[in-house]
């Protein structure tokens, strides 16, 4: 029997659970019908054409009372800005934009209509999964259902996959990574995570599909079989579990963690501004009420610290890939500075080739570049930190779409998104697999020719790393 629960801020939700069992396994399906009304809220797409427009948007951003939700960040004439505007502020915001001659159009006319459709599809899917005793990869699922899927996948592939408990979240939820390995001790490894920003549901859903793809392709796809013969893959499907649960039970648009800051009524930290890479710099906010709040100090968020501890404790990760949405981008460091990294040429080349593979399936168009140059300067990001500690092949994907639905991508786009993303991911993995024994001989000599001491030290560390791989 389901039951209603009443929450602060005029929100309620209905929750019930369904259990479906077959001979091999059981799935629990949780259904949440939440009532956080965004009725008649609109998403406006702002077209920035001048410095005056940028200043006007900064003024809007500082008006915390208007309740604006910036879906894209960083003000630039290079790309539009998407803002969810509460209905109560809609007239005032539109008048302000018109007064300042800032061009805009309505991207989503009524956010609540998309939420209602999304909720209805989830309820229907849960019933279907119960009756067919199967997991539907073309649907969004809550945390418990995803964790149940992970258990089933591990049970079906006990010699390939283990579920690694890397710690607990702020609200004491377990955090799990799937480890794909054919054996060996401390082998070179690739890290892939999704859902660090909780409202980016297509990332968690795509990661579920990709986990199943890796498992089913081992022993069938020669490239996956070869890859796992030489290295391990760690895949973290839900990197921000507290935030993800909150998007299902309370506020679908929640982005941050759910930690509490003493002296503030606003909760949460942006977990992709909390890493020790230019921490507290441009593109991150010191305001606890901001969606880009960087936190009180680097790695203050236990969700971030758990990943940091695993990466540092392992010591042999060679690639780190973080999956976000939306905007259709493949990015490499840096975000906290617009200075080119020593490996820019190689990473740009790898990224371009990966996107060529991705695009080959559905002709989905992506852009490739450094975070700072392709979108905006953003400090405290995960792939900047991993690159700075020597993980050369550090990338961030921004999945579909480019603005028709934003974070509310329909479930019928999950599998196409996952399929094309897998092709891009696989290319990066294959490149690294092939590069393990050739890159030692082709390392960029530019730092030595330019007498760049910092870059030379980084190169020497990479050479030692590659030599260790060859010895292993």
pLDDT in tens, 24-47: 455 555 555 444 678 889 999 999
Give the Cα separation of 377 and 277 in Å (integer).
12
Q: How confident is the model at residue 248 (pLDDT cuts 50, 70, 90)?
A: very high
Q: Are 226 and 435 in contact (CB under 8 A)?
A: no
Give the Cα separation of 35 and 357 in Å (integer).
41
What is the 8-class DSSP label of residue 411? G
Quote the percentage of the chain above a pLDDT of 70: 85
326, 425, 324, 434: which is closest to 383 by C-alpha?
324
Mean pLDDT of 246-255: 96
- Is the pLDDT confidence value at 167 over 90? yes
CA 427 to chain centroid, in Å, comes to: 19
Quote the percentage of the chain above a pLDDT of 90: 78
What's the pLDDT at 433? 80
- Is the pLDDT confidence value at 10 over 50? no
Point out the residues that are catalytic.
Answer: 398
453/123: higher pLDDT: 123
Give the Cα separation of 320 and 210 in Å (integer).
16
What's the pLDDT at 36? 61
Mean pLDDT of 449-464: 55
DSSP 348-369: HHHHHHHHHHHHHHH----EEE
- Tokens describing residue 446: 């530019």
What's the pLDDT at 1? 33
345, 336, 337: which is closest to 446 by C-alpha?
345
Q: Which residue has the tokens 């999956």?
A: 323
- Please give the mean pLDDT across all residues of the chain: 89
SS3 258: coil
- Is the pLDDT confidence value at 133 over 60? yes
Lowest mean pLDDT among 37-51, 138-152, 267-281, 446-460: 446-460
What's the pLDDT at 403? 83
- Is the pLDDT confidence value at 173 over 90? yes
Q: Are 322 and 240 in contact (CB under 8 A)?
A: no
What's the pLDDT at 75? 87
What's the pLDDT at 6? 30
Strand 393-399 and strand 317-325: the pairing is parallel
- Is the pLDDT confidence value at 383 over 80? yes
- Is the pLDDT confidence value at 443 over 60? no
What's the pLDDT at 29? 55
Handedness of CA 283, 286, 287, 291 (dihedral sign): positive
Give the Cα separation of 18 and 454 in Å (integer).
57
> What are all long-range contacts of 278-282, with beta carbons under 8 Å and residues at least 24 apart?
278/334, 278/335, 278/336, 278/337, 278/379, 278/380, 278/384, 279/379, 279/380, 280/379, 280/380, 281/336, 281/377, 281/379, 281/380, 282/336, 282/377, 282/378, 282/379
Strand 393-399 and strand 329-332: the pairing is antiparallel
What's the pLDDT at 62? 83
What's the pLDDT at 470? 46
Those residues with Cβ within 8 angstroms of residue 216's Cβ, 6 or more apart along the chain or in another chain: none
Give the Cα separation of 288 and 228 in Å (integer).
42
- Tokens describing residue 268: 């949460």
What's the pLDDT at 446? 44
What's the pLDDT at 31? 52
- Is the pLDDT confidence value at 11 over 60? no
pTM for the whole thing? Answer: 0.86
Q: How confident is the model at residue 76 (pLDDT cuts 50, 70, 90)?
A: confident
Mean pLDDT of 350-356: 98
Give the Cα separation of 195 and 322 in Å (integer).
9
What's the pLDDT at 458? 55
What's the pLDDT at 455? 53
Q: How confident is the model at residue 457 (pLDDT cuts 50, 70, 90)?
A: low
CA angle 121, 123, 125 (to 5 degrees): 65
């Amino acid at each position: 029997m389901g039951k209603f629960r009443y929450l602060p801020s005029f929100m309620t939700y209905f929750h019930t659970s369904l259990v479906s069992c077959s001979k091999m396994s059981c799935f629990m399906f949780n259904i949440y019908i939440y009532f956080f009304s965004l009725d008649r809220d609109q998403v406006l797409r702002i077209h920035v054409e001048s410095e005056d427009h940028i200043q006007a948007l900064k003024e809007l951003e500082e008006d915390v009372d208007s309740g604006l939700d910036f879906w894209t960040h960083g003000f630039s004439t290079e790309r539009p800005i998407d803002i969810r505007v509460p209905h109560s502020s809609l007239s005032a915001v539109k008048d302000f934009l018109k007064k300042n001659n800032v061009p805009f159009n309505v991207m989503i006319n009524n956010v609540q209509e998309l939420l209602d459709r999304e909720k209805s599809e989830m309820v229907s899917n849960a019933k279907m999964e119960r009756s067919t005793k199967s997991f539907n990869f073309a649907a969004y699922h809550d945390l418990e259902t995803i964790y149940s899927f992970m258990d089933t996948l591990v049970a079906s592939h006990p010699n390939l996959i283990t579920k690694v408990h890397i710690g607990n979240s702020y609200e004491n939820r377990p955090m799990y990574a799937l480890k794909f390995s054919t054996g060996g001790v401390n082998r070179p490894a690739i890290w892939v995570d999704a859902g660090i920003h909780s409202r980016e549901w297509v990332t968690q859903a795509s990661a579920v599909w990709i986990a199943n793809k890796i498992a089913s392709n081992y022993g069938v796809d020669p490239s996956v079989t070869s890859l796992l013969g030489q290295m391990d893959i760690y895949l973290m499907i839900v990197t921000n579990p507290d935030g993800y649960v909150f998007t299902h039970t309370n506020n679908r648009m929640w982005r941050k963690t759910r930690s509490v800051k003493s002296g503030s009524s606003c909760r949460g930290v942006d977990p992709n501004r909390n890493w020790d890479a230019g921490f507290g710099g441009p593109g991150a906010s010191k305001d606890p009420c901001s969606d880009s709040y960087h936190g009180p100090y680097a790695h203050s968020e236990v969700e971030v610290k758990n990943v940091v501890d695993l990466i540092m404790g392992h010591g042999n990760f060679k690639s780190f890939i973080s999956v976000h949405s939306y905007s259709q981008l493949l990015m490499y460091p840096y975000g906290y500075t617009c200075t080119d990294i020593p490996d820019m040429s190689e990473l740009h080349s790898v990224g371009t080739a990966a996107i060529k593979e991705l695009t080959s399936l559905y002709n989905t168009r992506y852009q490739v570049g450094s975070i700072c140059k392709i979108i905006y300067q953003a400090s405290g990001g995960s792939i900047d930190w991993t690159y700075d500690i020597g993980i050369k092949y550090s990338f961030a994907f921004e999945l579909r779409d480019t603005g028709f639905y934003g974070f509310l991508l329909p479930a019928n786009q999950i599998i196409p998104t996952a399929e094309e993303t897998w092709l891009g991911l696989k290319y990066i993995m294959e490149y690294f697999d092939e590069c393990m024994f050739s890159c030692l001989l082709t390392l960029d000599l530019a730092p030595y020719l330019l007498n760049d001491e910092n870059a030379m030290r980084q190169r020497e560390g990479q050479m030692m790393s590659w030599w260790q791989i060859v010895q292993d």
